[in-house]
Structure 1
Amino acid sequence: MDNLLLLHGALGSAATLNPIKQALQDKYNVYTLDFSGHGGLAIPDEPYSMQLFSNDIKELLDKEGIEQAHIFGYSMGGYAALYFALQYPNRVSSIFTLATKFAWSPEAAEKESKMLNPEKIEQKVPAFAQTLTQRHSPQDWKQVMLKTAEMMHQLGAAPALTSENLPQLHIPVCVGVGDKDNMVTVEETLWAYRLLPNASMLVLPDTRHPLETVSVARITSEIEQFTGSKTLHALSTP
């Protein structure tokens, strides 16, 4: 079976991908990971960054003896997957991103990071605060959130994926977005699609940004179709 690595989004953890993992585990060797400082892992002294998360991906592949894998990345996970593939293209069979934000600028970073205020979330969305407490225990979810906001500002000042480096990525990529996503636009997804040399694009109807609102049946079907066609193409290519 092909290897498939599932990557979680900002403030997420490997556990958030369990429904997708369970739906696909009979058809792939499915792997997940908690990025550094997520899911209860020790929060590093260094800032969160795409380089840090890329190192996490390589460490998992090396540890598991995986030479090459398909990668599904939700939101920030898709961004990290593409950044990793730019560094290690031979380790990636294909990438499927969903709800990945590509349009980073100082203004976008300011807008997104404003929503990452731990005190306001505790006051206004206590259920979400409790979810984050459980997700990142024994670590302090507030620190996870503040370091994520810091990373957003870093990406706003210097995006890791640009119009210069995306055209260098020749592996198959599918960029997916929900038509009701209030954080990621169809336009910025289209921007990435047009820059990637071997890309397809998927717009999911009636789909918002949060992963739990995405149809597991639909997204797993799309992953199977995309990775299956790429595998068949690779096998039939002399």
Structure 2
Amino acid sequence: MKPHLLLLHGAIGASFQLKAIAAALSEHYTIHLYDFPGHAGQPLPDAPFSIQFFAASVADYIRSHQLEHLTIFGASMGGYVALHLAATQPLLVDSIITLGTKFHWDPVTALKESKMLQPAVMVQKVPAFANALEKMHAPNDWKVVVEKTADMMIAMGEQNPLQADDFKNIGIPVLLLLGDRDRMVSFEETIQVYKLLPDAGFGVLPHTPHPAELVNAQLLAAIILDHQSSPKPVAG
């Protein structure tokens, strides 16, 4: 029986953006594409968006589908949610791969990122993107999804959901990946978390910007499979 692979998309995104990655790994895993609450037409919750809320929703999915021997691949916010799940409910996941996950959150960073999530400005400056979001999240109002995400970022800036001690207590294997052309996530913040995790790997994807749908899926799959099959060093 194949091990399970659960793919988690990024903020204001949808699982279909990860279909190329899923296809590249489907020979080796039983694939699960998951849409966060309020995204891609999933029921929009009354509760605020938060990493904690999303991690709880993923935990419910894992339990309801009885997923064992589970690896989670998380793009951007999806990676942060996966690590929060591992920190708070470690028995639910066996290993994690993240791509382009932003770890450094403070008020200045949160304000900068949230300013790019203003629906009225997006309609004016990036109308094609706004139109894509409208179609992506229908029948939900895409503007509400964006506003809830901006509010979540502000809250993360006030209190980062994952602190240094949380990373130190994640005992499962974690592979942190970053595109060399990612303008949202820095090498410094990724390496800082890499050094905190007890069992971590770190890799850089060449010619790769932040959006997960632009990644070379075959290259990513090869890196993931190599990491998953590599023997772990024995301490001594």
Q: TM-score range by the shorter chain?
A: over 0.9
Q: Which amino acid aligns with 1:194?
A: K
Partner of 2:72: 71
Partner SS for 1:180: coil
Partner of 1:146: 147
Report the CA distance between 1:178 and its aligned residue: 1.1
Is the Cα contact below 8 Å between 1:3 and 1:68 reproduced in 2? Answer: yes
Q: Which amino acid aligns with 1:197?
A: P
Partner SS for 1:164: helix
Is the Cα contact below 8 Å between 1:10 and 1:77 reproduced in 2? Answer: yes
1:87-128 deviation line (CA, Å, top 9, x unaligned): 121221111100000010000000000000111111111111
- Looking at structure 2, the residues matched to 204 and 185 of structure 1 have their Cα atoms a distance apart, in angstroms, of 13
Is the Cα contact below 8 Å between 2:177 and 2:204 reproduced in 1? Answer: yes
Report the CA distance between 1:155 and its aligned residue: 0.6
Partner of 1:107: 108
Deviates more, 1:137-146 or 1:11-20: 11-20
Report the CA distance between 1:148 and its aligned residue: 0.3
Is the Cα contact below 8 Å between 1:70 and 1:227 reproduced in 2? Answer: no
- State the percentage of identical aligned residues: 44
Is the Cα contact below 8 Å between 2:20 and 2:213 reproduced in 1? Answer: no
Is the Cα contact below 8 Å between 2:182 and 2:209 reproduced in 1? Answer: yes
Report the CA distance between 1:58 and its aligned residue: 1.0
Partner of 1:56: 57
Partner of 2:187: 186
Report the CA distance between 1:161 and its aligned residue: 1.2
Is the Cα contact below 8 Å between 2:71 and 2:95 reproduced in 1? Answer: yes
Deviates more, 1:101-110 or 1:155-164: 155-164
Partner SS for 1:218: helix
Map of 1:1-40 to 2, 5 A cutoff? 1-40=2-41
Report the CA distance between 1:228 and its aligned residue: 2.8
Q: Which amino acid aligns with 1:13?
A: A
Is the Cα contact below 8 Å between 2:18 and 2:213 reproduced in 1? Answer: no
1:38-72 deviation line (CA, Å, top 9, x unaligned): 11112111110111111111111112111341010
Partner of 2:125: 124
- Looking at structure 2, the residues matched to 166 and 211 of structure 1 have their Cα atoms a distance apart, in angstroms, of 23
Partner SS for 2:94: strand
Is the Cα contact below 8 Å between 1:9 and 1:75 reproduced in 2? Answer: yes
- Looking at structure 2, the residues matched to 119 and 227 of structure 1 have their Cα atoms a distance apart, in angstroms, of 44
Map of 1:169-180 to 2, 5 A cutoff? 169-180=170-181
Aligned residues: 232
Deviates more, 1:210-219 or 1:113-122: 210-219
Partner SS for 1:171: coil
Is the Cα contact below 8 Å between 2:4 and 2:68 reproduced in 1? Answer: no
TM value normalised by structure 2: 0.95
Report the CA distance between 1:212 and its aligned residue: 2.2
Name stretches of at least 5 consecutive residues in structure 1 with no aligned partner. 234-238
Compared with structure 1, are the counterparts of its residues 228 and 30 closer, same or farther at alpha carbon in structure 2 (3 Å cutoff)? farther
Is the Cα contact below 8 Å between 1:68 and 1:90 reproduced in 2? Answer: no
Q: Which amino acid aligns with 2:167?
A: L
Partner SS for 2:16: helix
Partner of 1:236: none
Partner SS for 2:144: helix
Partner of 2:206: 205
Map of 1:161-172 to 2, 5 A cutoff? 161-172=162-173
Runs of 4+ in 1 over 3 A off after TM superposition: none
Q: Does 1:82 align with 2:92?
A: no
TM value normalised by structure 1: 0.94
